Structure 1
Amino acid sequence: MKLIFTSFLACLLSLASYSQLVINELDSDTPGQDFQEFIELKSDTPNFPLDGYVVVLFNGSTSGNDSSYFAVDLDGYQTDINGILVIGSTGVSPIPELLIPPLVIQNGADAVAIYLGDATDFPEFTPATTTNLIDALVYDTSDPDDTALMALLGVTEQINEDENGNATTESIQRNNDGTYTVTTPTPGETNDGSGVDLNGISFTTDQDEYEEGEVMTITFTTEFNVTNDLNLDFTLDNETFTTADFTGNTSFTISAGTNSEVVQIQLVADGINDGDEFLEIDLGFIPQGFNRIRDNVQILVIDQDFTQADYGTPLNPTYGMVASTQPSGYYSSLTGLGGEDLRLAMQDIISDPAVVRAQTYADVVDILKEADQNPENSNEVWLFYTEQARAKYLYQNTGGSNVGLWNREHTYPQSRGGFYTIEYDEVADGRDLFLVSSADSLRHGISEVHGLRAADGPENSSRNNSDYGEYDGPAGNLGSWKGDAARAVMYMAVRFNNLELVNGDPANTTVGQLGDLETLLDWHRNDPPDDFEMHRNNVIYTWQFNRNPFIDRPDLVEYIYGNMMGEIYNPGLGIGSETLSEINVYPNPSSGTFNVAGISEDTKLTVTDISGKVILKSERIENGTFTLNLPSGLYIATFENAANVETFKLVIE
């Protein structure tokens, strides 16, 4: 009997030691983009070590099925002098000691719970349980009670953060008697106003952004004068920005009786194009009695050592300066084929599962930074539709406003193609990690970069899932993107099964069909592939191991979609012959106006009829268009430069 009583007493003492940790405050819904959400824990004693505890968030929605969606270990953390620990993102002030990404905490009806255990005990979709449970709060923002979730966690009340009609500006706070009050958030403070008044540490910089070579002045302050010398450290390292990129002392002292200190950092102008970078000001250890009002702040450092390419932007196109990097014989299997056989042969090349690689949707951002790089500034991307450059660092990586930012535009809209992401797509794992892809891997259309472009965020939203022709670009655009768009969606319709291009404008909800084909053909003919497009074709090939044939051989458009459909493809009689000059002429046949591309040196043009009579002779022909006002029939065009002679059969309808 004595043994039983002793064991029972030990159990009670053990539970008592764990029961002193509670969820003290929760803010699940904050103004704007929800960057100020937080969870506050409180222990009965100050400086309480949190090793062995885990905080778990549960999803009470129908799809969530009252199971876990996020878990974070508390190992290595302890509460502060007031028994407080805050969990949240850098958008919370004072800055939480335990940082999690923004937008993690859901509005409800959901729950937050403290357990004894480890985050690995709660993989995604783990059902809520009372096993090893220390404390739980089931909450909502004017949602019906989730009685099932409450039962699973053993609680009898669901707290509404919106009970005063101000969910975005109020939080749920625990009272000393275990009840809850909904009122103004107080992260990092006791809810009843008791405890030590912490001295907040903050800092400002004299500019919002800097150029390499400039001096950055940082002023560190406390909310009120310190009673003893306060010695602090900070770091500036962040990704590619390292200690080699600056000089200066990263330790400082705020002297007793004062509340500020100024530090100057010299940013190094190294003459190397590292790209625009963000340094991050991170405070080091903060002694007891202080907290961080501001921390983990990123500051832009603009690199003036950008490089320029020798080819032009789509608004000022050049031709023939960027050579195709296609392997020898890459398209040799197409010769002598026509109709569906030709299309399938093209698909066999660009969708070969033994060769072609699918990257993640997150990888696409890095690929676009390389493929769509602005030829005039290597630290920028060139934007589709709006025909302008934008800094690479201005990529939209969260929800909310997209004004001034760029993102990934699917030329064949995601909803129209049936593309979708999986969890793996959220990780940018680099060039050498990939998935096998085939013509039937339609899901991989989400990250098929030949069909994706860097685009202005708002303009991407404006295009939405419209057909081309129905969408004609923003007001005042010069159409430098139109041929690129045509060749991109034509590629997609060959690359994947169950995608097609049709005449007219299908309903914007129609999956697997996109229009308008006649418009796309006109765009292709009037805006031939330029060096910018060839450069991106070469870059994408290094990632995906496939190319867009309609860029390398633009005449193929006519054989697959245009006025030579069904005819036998013979590159020796038209465009795309693999010669030294890489001159392309199309469309062919034509009503008399032909595009010419690939001229990179002084070239003569001679046109004769089939009897050999000279119809046109030009001592210098340049990339662009030329017109033959001739009757319908067959003509011979000969291009001649110092190194090569190339002959084409031109058909005028």
Structure 2
Amino acid sequence: MRKVFLMLFLFMSVQTFAQIPNGYYASATGTGFALKSQLHTIIKNYVPKSYNSLWSLYSTSAYRDNYYENDGSLLDIYSEKINEIDFTNYNSTLLECGSTTTSYEGLCYNREHLVPESFFESYFNSIGIDTSINSVAYYAKNDAHFIPPTDIRVNAWRGNLPFGRLSATNLNPCAGGDGPSFSPTNLPCYTSNVSKIGFNNNSGYSAGYTGNVFEPIDEFKGDVARAVLYFVTRYEDVLPLMYSTCSNTTAKAMFNGSSGQGLNATFLNIMKTWHQNDPVSEREIAINNRIYTHQSNRNPFIDHPEWVTTIWGSPLQTETFELLSAISVYPNPAVDNRITIEAETILDEINLISTNGQLMLQIKNPNSDNNRYLVENLPQGFYFLKLFSNNESITKKIIIN
């Protein structure tokens, strides 16, 4: 429940509240992936802080509950109950913890990487950087923009799972999860604030992925989405290397190995949908301001929510997304500079886009043979194929040999 702030949000710019330094986004003038790269340049350099400094950051008022119970306790998006008394209140630094094998909630809180550490730690280790050393704070290990405080048990239950939407409706409270995997023993299940863990819906805006996911409550879906989109923007220059060196298929499930789009089509659409359905809150703005004083960079998608659409486009509607998700492109890598696109919907436009956002080819109202489209004379290289249908679009990566 976004309270009175949402009424103000309808009439006033987020910039009024966000205390954005003058000129901070002056060079952000482009569209599409070009804008994303401009934002990357703006936010990539910030003041190194230690991993342990996150504890001090969490103790500040920006991370406290001044919105729901309004009791000043730590606000944990994995355990906060919006309309009820919380299962637990974290109001003491004595409740900080690094690890535990306890199988229940409410023991202590720790630092949750919304993009799992296992996605990027292999890359840093491969270039000789130990991510456990506190001094390398300017790497993803310590970046506060996507590391909120959360209940340690729910953090462990989520583990490396991607974010998504569950298909199950009859769930029980999560239980168990001791040992190496930490996964609850009774999937699908829900946490104390009814965050859900279990099998992905694989339909509607989440179509295209089969596997277990973690679904936060609606109140914080947008918060998670904007943190993930920050990650693929801040680290776009090394995203392909993170992806290629990561051996954990669950941790890398949300990504597509590119520096431009960053996320694969399914999870990009989930993040865009959550961003749209759960607008920026007063709490997010307060945290963004506080992190700026902590490490001297900002989350641009909290300051300028409209940039999500400017870069990645609008979320796909359910029916169109399901049809577009069923599209196949073959052969990939292409042979003889040609590909075939097989669809279950009529395509209105086919675009070939380079990794730096340049439009290389545009075909409007393409000819087809029973919704089979042949595209020839393609230049060699790695590209994004953006397909449009019924005012919606989806992007696939292709290699032209």
Q: TM-score, normalised by structure 1?
A: 0.33
Match of 1:518? Answer: 269
**1:408 is aligned to 2:111:** yes
CA 1:398/1:469 → structure 2, altered by over 3 Å: closer, same or farther?
closer
Match of 2:44? Answer: 351
Match of 1:529? Answer: 280
Opposite residue 250 of structure 2, the aligned amino acid is: N
Q: Kindly state the Cα deviation for residue 498 of structure 1 after the two structures are TM-superposed.
A: 2.6
Query: Where do residues 311-460 of structure 1 align in structure 2 (5 Å cutoff)?
Result: 316=3, 318-319=5-6, 320=8, 323-335=17-29, 337-352=30-45, 356-370=46-60, 371-375=62-66, 376-377=69-70, 379-388=72-81, 390-393=89-92, 395-401=95-101, 403-404=105-106, 405-418=108-121, 422=131, 424-425=133-134, 437=138, 444-460=139-155
CA 1:380/1:411 → structure 2, altered by over 3 Å: closer, same or farther?
same
CA 1:344/1:479 → structure 2, altered by over 3 Å: closer, same or farther?
same
CA RMSD of aligned residues (A): 3.4
Match of 1:538? Answer: 289
From the two aligned structures, give the one with the greater helix fraction. Answer: 2
Q: Distance in 2 between matches of 1:415 and 1:423?
A: 12
**1:467 is aligned to 2:162:** yes
CA contact (8 A) 1:387 1:481 kept: no
Give CA-to-partner distance per residue, 1:277-306, whole Å, 9 cap, x none: xxxxxxxxxxxxxxxxxxxxxxxxxxxxxx
Q: Distance in 2 between matches of 1:489 and 1:317?
A: 26
Match of 1:549? Answer: 300
CA contact (8 A) 2:145 2:230 kept: yes
Q: Distance in 2 between matches of 1:422 and 1:467?
A: 22
Query: Where do residues 267-278 of structure 1 align in structure 2 (5 Å cutoff)?
Result: none
Q: Kindly state the Cα deviation for residue 520 of structure 1 after the two structures are TM-superposed.
A: 1.1
CA 1:317/1:461 → structure 2, altered by over 3 Å: closer, same or farther?
farther
Opposite residue 357 of structure 1, the aligned amino acid is: V
SS at match of 1:467: coil
Give CA-to-partner distance per residue, 1:404-435, whole Å, 9 cap, x none: 1111111111112327865642xxxxxxxx76
Opposite residue 469 of structure 1, the aligned amino acid is: G
Match of 1:577? Answer: none
Give CA-to-partner distance per residue, 1:479-529, whole Å, 9 cap, x none: 211110000010011101333799xxx931538936611111111110010
Q: Kindly state the Cα deviation for residue 343 of structure 1 after the two structures are TM-superposed.
A: 1.2
CA 1:315/1:559 → structure 2, altered by over 3 Å: closer, same or farther?
closer
Match of 1:106? Answer: none
CA 1:448/1:470 → structure 2, altered by over 3 Å: closer, same or farther?
same
Q: Distance in 2 between matches of 1:494 and 1:366?
A: 26
Equivalent in 223, 233, 240 of residue 494 of structure 1: 233
Give CA-to-partner distance per residue, 1:288-331, whole Å, 9 cap, x none: xxxxxxxxxxxxxxxxxxxxxxxxxx675734488111111221
Match of 1:257? Answer: none
Give CA-to-partner distance per residue, 1:323-368, whole Å, 9 cap, x none: 1111112212112x1233211110111113xxx1121110011112
Q: Distance in 2 between matches of 1:527 and 1:317?
A: 15
CA contact (8 A) 2:222 2:277 kept: yes
Where relative contact order (Cα < 8 A, 6+ residues apart) is larger, the structure is 2
CA 1:512/1:416 → structure 2, altered by over 3 Å: closer, same or farther?
farther
Opposite residue 367 of structure 1, the aligned amino acid is: L
CA contact (8 A) 2:98 2:110 kept: no
CA 1:474/1:483 → structure 2, altered by over 3 Å: closer, same or farther?
farther
Q: Distance in 1 between matches of 2:4 and 2:41?
A: 31
Aligned residue pairs, count:
235
**Structure 2 unpaired stretches of 5+:** 10-15, 168-188, 196-216, 256-262, 319-390, 393-401
From the two aligned structures, give the one with the greater strand fraction. Answer: 1
Opposite residue 343 of structure 1, the aligned amino acid is: K
**Structure 1 unpaired stretches of 5+:** 1-313, 426-433, 438-443, 564-586, 592-651
Q: TM-score, normalised by structure 2?
A: 0.51
Give CA-to-partner distance per residue, 1:207-262, whole Å, 9 cap, x none: xxxxxxxxxxxxxxxxxxxxxxxxxxxxxxxxxxxxxxxxxxxxxxxxxxxxxxxx
Q: Distance in 2 between matches of 1:408 and 1:436?
A: 14
Query: Where do residues 55-70 of structure 1 align in structure 2 (5 Å cutoff)?
Result: none
CA contact (8 A) 1:415 1:511 kept: no
Opposite residue 374 of structure 1, the aligned amino acid is: D
CA 1:527/1:470 → structure 2, altered by over 3 Å: closer, same or farther?
closer
SS at match of 2:111: strand
Opposite residue 24 of structure 2, the aligned amino acid is: Y
CA contact (8 A) 2:50 2:137 kept: no
Match of 2:214? Answer: none
Q: Distance in 1 between matches of 2:166 and 2:116?
A: 12
Q: Kindly state the Cα deviation for residue 382 of structure 1 after the two structures are TM-superposed.
A: 0.6
Q: Distance in 2 between matches of 1:365 and 1:540?
A: 13
Q: Kindly state the Cα deviation for residue 447 of structure 1 after the two structures are TM-superposed.
A: 0.9
Q: Kindly state the Cα deviation for residue 395 of structure 1 after the two structures are TM-superposed.
A: 2.9
Opposite residue 310 of structure 2, the aligned amino acid is: Y
CA 1:486/1:346 → structure 2, altered by over 3 Å: closer, same or farther?
same
Give CA-to-partner distance per residue, 1:447-498, whole Å, 9 cap, x none: 1011011111111111111111167993534421111000001001110133
Q: Distance in 2 between matches of 1:317 and 1:416?
A: 38
Q: Distance in 1 between matches of 2:25 and 2:317?
A: 24
